[in-house]
């Protein structure tokens, strides 16, 4: 419970109508979750306007309404008028939960690919070194040993502050957080006190939302523009837009590279399904992750840790013990049967898929067949669909196009659009709409010692079809075929 005057501290109000000496039980922008003596923020969203739900919020117990548009006033309700309720929501959340992000080192990871791997493995690294840690990622939120399911890459700012308040109570030293472009654009990280920003890379994605690639880049860049001079900015300068990200930042810049001079350097010595052998900051190390893209991820993790921890040898020892994040180039081996190797990966962008498949092709012998099962999500960027299919066919002996999360789109139409990228003279391609049947077909026609890559869903435990999320797990389904054929 907080005093309304305390919650409104620092908020630029246009006017307040009603009693200000109130105690507030909770804050929300969802009229359905308003508590008695609660505060409701009427936010204008992409698909709905919170001002249309003010009456419902009051009916459910709201004592305070934060709003932009003039309303008929209920005599027992306080109305706080502001210019921008989205910005006000962030500041109110920060006050209500007592500015939790300032209580620990907050590390934000952004980029098209690698966010989950970097954030999760950085959590694992720091935890193994004895620090109390928190994680906010696509897969889950974690507070030391506690796991909390996650539904968004970056949660709403109210939920975010509430989670961080719990992390503050648990005395976390570091919190790792994935920062999506949607979250930056929608003000879902407004008011958070970041101590480090990390840029992994930027490639073709989310153009359904941002409109153009340049808009997408500018959105990512805003995250670094807003860092202050006490913060660190760790960037991949091998990405063409790496240095652009920090052109206007006040943060301390740390560059990472495999191909050029940088503050932190890595060199790949060997790369196979058992892991990477590398020179990292001029030290010879063996690491449990596979692929050049993971070499970048590990380099970024090392650089971030080195910003805060002086004992570099301890960091390297911790890195050598890390294992892949769930659903990120996760290798499954069949014991007996056909001795198939399965790789489960979240790759759902052209660049990510090419990273995975090119890595597999580099490792396996030319006599080993590669089958790829891949789909594209519905209600998302349509322009990448033919690109995904073309990349799958380029690297694979057999390509199976299938459903991912069709959401509200017709899967047949999604597959039709993917097929536009297929070369009819190229390697074998088929389409099997049912994802489980597609995985079954990939295994049934597999040759001895073949590699099967199942791309697009990774860690997800569901399939989203017409708003209904049905249990579905690529890894468990492939394991079933492995067990049946031992």
State the Cα–Cα distance between residues 231 and 279, nearest whole angstrom: 27
For residue 276, being part of any structural domain is answered with yes
> Contact at 8 Å (CB) between 129 and 318?
yes
- Examine the domain organization and report whether 88 and 117 are in the same domain: no
> Average of pLDDT values for 330-343?
92
Is the pLDDT at 486 greater than 50? The verdict is no
- Examine the domain organization and report whether 427 and 359 are in the same domain: yes
A 10 A CB-CB count for 482 gives 19
- Examine the domain organization and report whether 92 and 111 are in the same domain: no
| pLDDT attached to residue 152 | 59
Is the pLDDT at 461 greater than 90? The verdict is yes
For residue 383, being part of any structural domain is answered with yes
- Examine the domain organization and report whether 334 and 405 are in the same domain: yes
State the Cα–Cα distance between residues 128 and 414, nearest whole angstrom: 43
For residue 86, being part of any structural domain is answered with yes
Strand ranges for 192-288 from DSSP E: 196-199, 232-236, 252-257, 264-272, 275-280, 283-287
| pLDDT attached to residue 406 | 97
Q: Which residues contact 66 (CB under 8 A, 6 or more apart)?
A: 39, 40, 41, 42, 80, 82, 85, 88, 89, 92
Is the pLDDT at 151 greater than 70? The verdict is no
Is the pLDDT at 208 greater than 70? The verdict is no
Total domains, the chain: 3
| pLDDT attached to residue 203 | 83
Q: pLDDT-based confidence at 153, cuts 50/70/90?
A: low
Is the pLDDT at 226 greater than 60? The verdict is yes
- pLDDT tens by residue, 24-46: 999 999 999 998 999 999 999 87
Higher pLDDT, 156 or 280: 280
Is the pLDDT at 207 greater than 60? The verdict is no
- Examine the domain organization and report whether 392 and 293 are in the same domain: no
State the Cα–Cα distance between residues 464 and 23, nearest whole angstrom: 41
> Which residue range forms the structural domain that includes residue 424?
330-484
Domain C-terminal end among 96, 119, 154: 96
> Average of pLDDT values for 309-318?
96
- pLDDT tens by residue, 53-102: 999 999 999 999 999 999 999 999 999 999 999 999 999 999 999 999 99
**Which CATH number is 201's domain given?**
3.40.1190.10
- pLDDT tens by residue, 259-271: 999 999 999 999 9
**Which CATH number is 34's domain given?**
3.40.1390.10
pTM of the predicted structure, to 2 decimals: 0.87
- Examine the domain organization and report whether 224 and 106 are in the same domain: yes
| pLDDT attached to residue 485 | 56
SS3 362: helix
> Contact at 8 Å (CB) between 61 and 34?
yes
Domain C-terminal end among 96, 130, 146: 96
275, 293, 427: which is closest to 363 by C-alpha? 275
For residue 378, being part of any structural domain is answered with yes
- Examine the domain organization and report whether 378 and 456 are in the same domain: yes
- DSSP-derived pairing of the beta strands 62-67 and 78-82: parallel
Query: What is the percent of the chain with per-residue pLDDT over 90, rounded to a whole number?
Result: 87
For residue 325, being part of any structural domain is answered with no
State the Cα–Cα distance between residues 341 and 452, nearest whole angstrom: 6
Q: Which residues contact 338 (CB under 8 A, 6 or more apart)?
A: 446, 447, 448, 449, 450, 485
- Examine the domain organization and report whether 190 and 116 are in the same domain: yes
| pLDDT attached to residue 357 | 97
> Average of pLDDT values for 195-204?
92
Between 324-328, 371-375, 432-436, the lowest mean confidence (pLDDT) is in: 324-328
- Examine the domain organization and report whether 246 and 344 are in the same domain: no
Between 141-155, 251-265, 387-401, the lowest mean confidence (pLDDT) is in: 141-155
- pLDDT tens by residue, 160-176: 999 999 999 999 999 99
| pLDDT attached to residue 468 | 95
- Examine the domain organization and report whether 237 and 273 are in the same domain: yes
> Average of pLDDT values for 462-467?
94
Q: pLDDT-based confidence at 456, cuts 50/70/90?
A: very high
Between 204-208, 279-283, 377-381, the lowest mean confidence (pLDDT) is in: 204-208
For residue 408, being part of any structural domain is answered with yes
- pLDDT tens by residue, 396-451: 999 999 999 999 999 999 999 999 999 999 999 999 999 999 999 999 999 999 99
> Average of pLDDT values for 146-166?
85
| pLDDT attached to residue 205 | 60
> Contact at 8 Å (CB) between 140 and 70?
no
> Average of pLDDT values for 178-199?
93
For residue 335, being part of any structural domain is answered with yes
- Examine the domain organization and report whether 334 and 301 are in the same domain: no
For residue 387, being part of any structural domain is answered with yes
- Examine the domain organization and report whether 313 and 164 are in the same domain: yes
| pLDDT attached to residue 483 | 79
Domain C-terminal end among 320, 347, 371: 320
**Which CATH number is 427's domain given?**
3.90.190.20
Mean of pLDDT over the chain: 94
């Amino acid at each position: 419970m907080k005093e309304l005057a305390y919650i409104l501290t620092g908020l630029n109000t246009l006017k307040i109508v009603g009693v200000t000496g109130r105690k507030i039980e909770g804050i929300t922008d969802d009229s359905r979750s308003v508590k008695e003596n609660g505060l409701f923020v009427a936010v204008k969203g992409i698909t709905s306007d919170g001002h249309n739900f003010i009456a419902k919020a009051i009916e459910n117990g709201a004592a305070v309404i934060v709003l932009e548009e003039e309303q008929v006033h209920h005599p027992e309700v306080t109305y706080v008028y502001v210019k921008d309720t989205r910005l006000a929501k962030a500041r109110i959340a920060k006050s209500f939960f007592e500015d939790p992000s300032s209580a620990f080192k907050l590390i934000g990871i952004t980029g098209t690919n690698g966010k989950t791997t970097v954030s999760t493995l950085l959590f694992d690294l720091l935890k193994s070194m004895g620090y109390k840690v928190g994680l906010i990622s696509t897969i889950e939120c974690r507070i030391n040993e506690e796991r909390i399911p996650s539904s968004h890459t970056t949660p709403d700012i109210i939920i975010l502050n509430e989670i961080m308040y719990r992390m503050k109570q648990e005395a976390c030293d570091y919190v790792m957080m994935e920062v999506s472009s949607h979250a930056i654009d929608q003000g879902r990280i407004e008011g958070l006190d970041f101590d480090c920003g990390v840029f992994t890379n930027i490639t073709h994605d989310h153009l359904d939302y941002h409109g153009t690639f340049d808009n997408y880049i500018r959105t990512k860049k805003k995250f670094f523009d807003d860092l202050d001079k006490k913060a660190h900015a760790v960037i991949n300068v091998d990405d063409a837009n790496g240095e652009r990200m920090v052109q206007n930042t006040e943060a301390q810049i740390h560059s990472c590279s495999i191909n050029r001079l940088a503050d932190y350097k890595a060199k790949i010595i060997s790369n196979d399904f058992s892991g990477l052998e590398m020179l990292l900051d001029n030290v010879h190390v063996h690491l449990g992750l596979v692929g050049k893209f993971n070499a970048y991820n590990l380099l970024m993790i090392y650089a971030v840790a080195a910003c805060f921890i002086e004992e570099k040898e301890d960091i390297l020892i911790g890195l050598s013990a890390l294992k892949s994040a769930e659903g990120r180039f996760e290798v499954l081996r069949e014991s007996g049967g056909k001795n198939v190797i399965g790789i489960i990966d979240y790759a759902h962008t052209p660049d990510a898929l090419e990273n995975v498949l090119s890595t597999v092709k580099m490792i396996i012998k030319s006599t080993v067949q590669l089958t790829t099962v891949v789909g594209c999500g519905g209600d998302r960027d349509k322009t990448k669909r033919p690109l995904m299919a073309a990349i799958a066919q380029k690297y694979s002996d057999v390509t199976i196009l299938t459903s991912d999360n069709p959401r509200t789109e017709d899967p047949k139409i999604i597959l039709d659009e993917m097929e536009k990228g297929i070369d009819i003279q190229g390697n074998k391609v088929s389409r099997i709409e049912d994802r489980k049947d597609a995985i079954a077909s990939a295994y049934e026609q597999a040759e001895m010692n073949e590699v099967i890559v199942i791309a697009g869903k990774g860690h997800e435990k569901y399939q989203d079809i017409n708003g209904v999320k049905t249990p579905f797990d690529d890894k468990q389904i492939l394991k079933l075929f492995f067990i049946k054929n031992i």
